[in-house]
Structures are given as structure tokens and as C-alpha cells.
A and B are shown apart, each in its own frame.
Chain A
Amino acid sequence: MTARAKEPFRFRNRLTLAEVTGRKAFNINELLDGIKQADDEVIYYHTHRFIKQFHHLVPEGANDFAYWVTNTVQADRLGEELTAIDIVRYNSLADIRAAFTATIERHLAANPGPARTVAPGREFHFMRAVRFSLPTSCAASDYASFLDCLRAVNSSSLYLHVFEARLRPPYGVDDFSHWFKQEFGDEEVGREISRLDPYSYTLEGLRKRIIRIIEKRLGEAANA
């Protein structure tokens, strides 16, 4: 564990600007139409950004769609199904969109009656994210400096490297796991991190959990 990486891990940060598309939904049918026609940046905004913005809340909401269906439309069953869509298990925003579309279509097929329309002012607003990737001053070359960085970076950096990373090559793999495997041949860290999900922890809780995982690996090395 004292080995040094050839390629240091450079922590980056994710910021988003919120663009208002002007598209609105007053009922579940309109929500479905909007999701079907949404581009990737709209889907990103309502799924990934949502977790980041509310990362300190316990329990966290899952995504904007589920939150609106549950709390405003009050379609409890559909809200629960949308909440259960585990966005970090998908490798592309298109797949996430398809999952939401399929769930709502199933609901509408099973509930063909007139849709409940919400009052003006309580409609769903489709938004888009303009994403920025920023460097931070944190870079790690070994386990110890990686721990230092983990303690220093902000939560949106954690989110970027652990969850959003799975949407880009190598698909389905977070940046931390990839780095430990590439640089140190350590697959244990990856196994532990891949079991984390943003619904079970706040991002601060997540930080503590990852720190514990790395500390445990350091401890194992010391006792080996």
C-alpha cells in the first residue's frame, strides 16, 4: 500500500447550470410525453442533479419525476415504482430514460381512466443541465494521499467520480474502482465501492463509507 501510482488520481468537480426548457406537465400523460422527448441533458438534470442538490437530506428523494408524482400528483403506486428506479445501475442516460418511460407506460396501461391534472402552479417543469467539469487542487498518488483528498473534496466531486462516472467509458465502473484496479491491481476496493448507492447514504455518509473502505485496505496491508 506504499506503492505509488504511475498516473495520479486527479479529483475533479461537477457543476451544473439549470436551463429552463419551458416545457411543462400537468398530468402523468404529459410527463410521459416530456420524458420521451427529453434529451440526455434533461434526463441528467432530473435524475443526477437531484441527488446532488438534496444530498444532505435523509431520507433523500430519488429523482424529480418520482418526487412530483408522489407528492404533487399523489399517484402513490407509480411514485413508488419511479422511486425504485435505480439510476446508478444504468450505463447511459438513454437507458435511464427508457426505464422511466417503460414504468409510466405500464402504469397508464393498467390505469386507463382519466389522468389527474394538477392545479396551475403545481406543474412539472422540464429543465436541462449545462454541465461543467472543473479541476480541483486534489491529486493522489497512493492510498494515504487518496484518503487526504477524500476528506478534502466537496460532495459533488464524490458524486461525479462514484456515480456519474458510470455513464462514461468504461461504462458501469466508478472512477475510484477503475483507478485502484489500474494502478495497484486492487479489485477489492472496486468490489466494495460498487456496492454503494446514493439512496442509502447522504453524500457525507458516502464519503465516510469510502474513507472506511480505504482505511480498511490500508489496515489489512499493515497487518499482512
Chain B
Amino acid sequence: MPKIDEYAPAAGAAAIEELKVIASRLQGKSILNVNSTAVGGGVAEILNRMLPMMTELGIRPRWELIKGGEDFYAVTKKFHNAIHGTRQELTPADFQLYRDTLKMNMDTLDLDADLALIHDPQPAGLIDRKPAGAKWVWRCHIDMSNRQDDVWNFLKGYVARYDAAVISAPAFSQELPVRQFQVPPSIDPLADKNKDLSDEEVAAVMRRLEIPLDKPLITQVSRFDRLKDPLGVIAAFKLIQPYVTARLLLVGGSADDDPEGAEVLAEARAAAEGNPDILVLCLPPTSNVEINAIQRASAIILQKSLKEGFGLTVSEALWKGKPVIAGAVGGIPLQITHKYSGILTRTVEGTAYWMKRLLHEPAYAKRLGENGREHVRENFLLTRHLRDYLLIALYLESGRQDFIHL
């Protein structure tokens, strides 16, 4: 894992100094994280990177995993989907299974810490065993703006007893008797998918993947999912083809284990059929350096989503200093200020218009990319994410004042 000072070139030396100053007020404090998985998924990815940084800063982080059988995970999967807005049928037995499993975990997990960050619905019920004097924060990573009432009301019974709640975007907030803070997710600038690559490294990847660079490349990186609108991307590109010299690249996973993904991939391939300037590429899920190189080789990056959670892939693209055209959905407008740090669109035609315009106005496109990168540097790097958690710890430790002088 990188040392904290290694983040200085990306985040700025002052940001690292800030972290050290804040952490100096939290020396020796224990911060417990509880979630449901140690690998895979955004939460585990962030914790794997963030906890070593906490240790280096003199804080004592711990990480506990909630355990349960397949039936428990089936119920919490339903919770997740219901909170995310997909209608689920839950029975009284489902809720009871949740209570029973949480009770079993309370008896086995070590919940002793000065501060606890309890991630997402799965472990929320652990609040029943909150140690006296500890401060507990419910950290929800899910878009709750279309949540299902029965599931939310059940969870709210737990969440309302926390010291604070943390959400990723204002639109995800719910009526709660506790204070809610906005802490957006983040990207790790030193991870394989974001780290700096030399021109030679980029060129080598592009040669290996047989992606020609004789024309400006417009790229969308996303799984083959209707909500990412790959067919809309192809339609938009076809609209501008008579007027521009460019190539479109759609990159996603192989979708072998996802029947709908396979269907969408087949539709995208059919739409690209016979058009030599539209490439559809499937890469294995470990292709982080390859995705990084493709983004760096692109002239424009698209994220034409119709629905998104936070849409952190936008920050990954902006971090490469590229002009990004993205759907104005989910957390994307927090990452892109239209016409300042990228372009927000809502239609195929709008996407086509802006692709053409950015290809024809490279100086403006460059400026968007530069602004976007600076916006990410300031707001969406792992160091800012860690800083926000530490500020919440300080806020709770200091008696919840609105103004804290260190």
C-alpha cells in the first residue's frame, strides 16, 4: 500500500499536511468499520486503501465483517434493492431473520471503539449493542432517493439511534432525527486504474489491444447495461460521423455471467456492424491498467448513463484530464459543472452536438479537462474522503459544535 506522503503529488502537499494536523487531534483513537464483505465492491476497495493510511496517521482503525448465511444475504440483497428503488417483496420472516442474524453478530463481533462507521443496511442493526460513550455513524453508500417505504421504515428504527448519518449526495437524504453529512465517494489516484502512465505505456497497451489511434478516440467505459445506454452512444456517434473524423470505442466486461448484459452486448455489436469506426471491446474485470491507458489515449470520454448511483467512473475519467460528456443523472452533476468542468447531456442529440463541438474546439475541450481534473483533485480523491471521516470524528468528539478551532 502507498504511504501517505506518496499522495502529495496528486492531492497536494497542503492536503497531506491537513490530514496530519487533523489526525494529531485523534491520536490513539480507535475507529471501527463494519461492513459485509472484505473484497469486491466499492466499500471494501476504499477501506483496504484507507485503513493503512489511518494507521500511519496514528489512529487505530479496525475492520469487522458481519456474518450470515445465504438466506441472510438474500434478505439484505432485497434490502439493498428496495432502498435503491427496485420493488421487493419482504415478509415478516425476512425481517425476523435480519434481527436474529444481527443478534448473533452482536455476540461475536468486537464492537469496542471510540468511533464506529457502520456501512450500509446489512450491519445497521448492530446499534442495539453500541458501547456506552462510543460515537456511531451510519454510512450509507446507496442512493435512497426512491427507497421502498416498508424497508426504509424498518431500517430507520435503527438509523435514528445513531449519532450521525453519512450519505454520498444531498438527493439521497431522508428525514431523520440525527444530523446527516454529505461525504462523496472517492477515487484512489495511485490505484492501477488511475495512476499516471507514460506515453510509452499507453501506446503499448493500445498496440496490444489493437486499438488504432489514427483518428481521435471517443470512449465510453461501462458494463453492457441498458442504463449506461450503449445504443444511445452509438446512435449519437452515427449522427456526427458525416461531419467529423473520429472513432468510437465502447469498452466493457465480457458479460458471460449476465444474461441481460450479453443481450445488450449483442445489440451493441449489431448496431456497430459494418461501421469500421465503431469498436466494441470486452475486457476481463482485472483490466485496470488497460482501462487507464484507454482513457488516457482518448480525446473525449462519455458516460451517457440514463440512471446512476454516484457514477464515480466520471471522476476516474476527469482525473485523466479528459473532457467528459455525461448524463445529468445520480451523482454525476456533483462531479461535472456543465460547461465548466465537463458537459452534461440528457439526449442522444445533445450528446452528438457536444461530441462534435468538442472535437472541433480542442482548446475548449482541453480547458474542460483541466478544470475537471482540478475539481476531482479538490473534491473526489481518497485523501479528501479520509479527511471528511476524520472531521466527522472530530466533530463528534468535540461536542458537535458548528465551529471548531484546532
Q: Give residues in A with beta carbon < 8 Å to B.
A: 13, 15, 17-20, 22, 41, 53-58, 61, 71, 121, 125, 127-137, 152-154, 157
- Could you count the A-B residue pairs with CB atoms below 8 Å apart for me: how many are there? 96
User: With A13-B18, A132-B394 given, can you name 18 additional A-B contacts, CB distance below 8 Å?
Assistant: A17-B181, A18-B182, A19-B179, A19-B182, A20-B173, A20-B181, A20-B182, A22-B173, A22-B174, A22-B176, A53-B378, A57-B341, A57-B371, A71-B338, A125-B173, A134-B21, A134-B406, A154-B18
Tell me whether A136 and B182 are in contact (CB under 8 A): no
Tell me whether A54 and B180 are in contact (CB under 8 A): no
Chain A residues lying within 8 Å of B403, measured Cβ to Cβ, are: 130-131, 133
Instruction: Evaluate whether A54 and B170 lie within 8 angstroms (CB atoms) in the complex, with A132-B404, A135-B406 already known.
Output: no
**B167, CB-defined interface residue at 8 Å:** yes
Name A53's contact: one of B174, B338, B379 (CB within 8 Å): B379
**How far apart sit A19 and B176, CA to CA, in the bound complex (Å)?**
13
**How far apart sit A88 and B388, CA to CA, in the bound complex (Å)?**
27
> B354 CB to closest chain A CB, in angstroms?
16
Of A121, A130, A131, A135, chain B has the most CB atoms within 10 Å of the CB of A130
Main SS of chain B's interface residues? mixed
Chain B residues lying within 8 Å of A157, measured Cβ to Cβ, are: 14
Tell me whether A22 and B406 are in contact (CB under 8 A): no
> A176 CB to closest chain B CB, in angstroms?
18
**B337, CB-defined interface residue at 8 Å:** yes
Tell me whether A54 and B182 are in contact (CB under 8 A): no
Chain B residues lying within 8 Å of A18, measured Cβ to Cβ, are: 181-183
Closest B residue by C-beta to A128: B402
21 A-B pairs (CB sep. < 8 Å): A13-B14, A17-B181, A18-B182, A18-B183, A20-B167, A20-B182, A54-B375, A56-B378, A57-B337, A125-B170, A127-B170, A129-B402, A130-B391, A130-B404, A132-B391, A132-B394, A132-B404, A133-B405, A135-B406, A137-B17, A154-B15
Of A53, A132, A152, A153, chain B has the most CB atoms within 10 Å of the CB of A132
B380-401: CB near A (< 8 Å → 1, else 0) gives 0000000110011011000001
Chain A residues lying within 8 Å of B22, measured Cβ to Cβ, are: 15, 132, 134
**How far apart sit A44 and B391, CA to CA, in the bound complex (Å)?**
18
- Chain B: interface residue total (CB-CB under 8 A): 42
Chain B residues lying within 8 Å of A128, measured Cβ to Cβ, are: 402
Instruction: Evaluate whether A153 and B391 lie within 8 angstroms (CB atoms) in the complex, with A132-B406, A134-B22 already known.
Output: no
Name A130's contact: one of B12, B338, B371, B402 (CB within 8 Å): B402
Name B180's contact: one of A20, A56, A121, A129 (CB within 8 Å): A20
**How far apart sit A111 and B18, CA to CA, in the bound complex (Å)?**
48
**How far apart sit A57 and B403, CA to CA, in the bound complex (Å)?**
28
Chain B residues lying within 8 Å of A125, measured Cβ to Cβ, are: 170-171, 173
**How far apart sit A15 and B391, CA to CA, in the bound complex (Å)?**
9
Instruction: Evaluate whether A56 and B402 lie within 8 angstroms (CB atoms) in the complex, with A18-B181, A20-B181, A135-B21 already known.
Output: no
Closest A residue by C-beta to B339: A71
Name A15's contact: one of B167, B341, B387 (CB within 8 Å): B387
Tell me whether A131 and B402 are in contact (CB under 8 A): yes
Name B340's contact: one of A19, A57, A127, A133 (CB within 8 Å): A57
Tell me whether B18 and A17 are in contact (CB under 8 A): no
**How far apart sit A132 and B393, CA to CA, in the bound complex (Å)?**
12
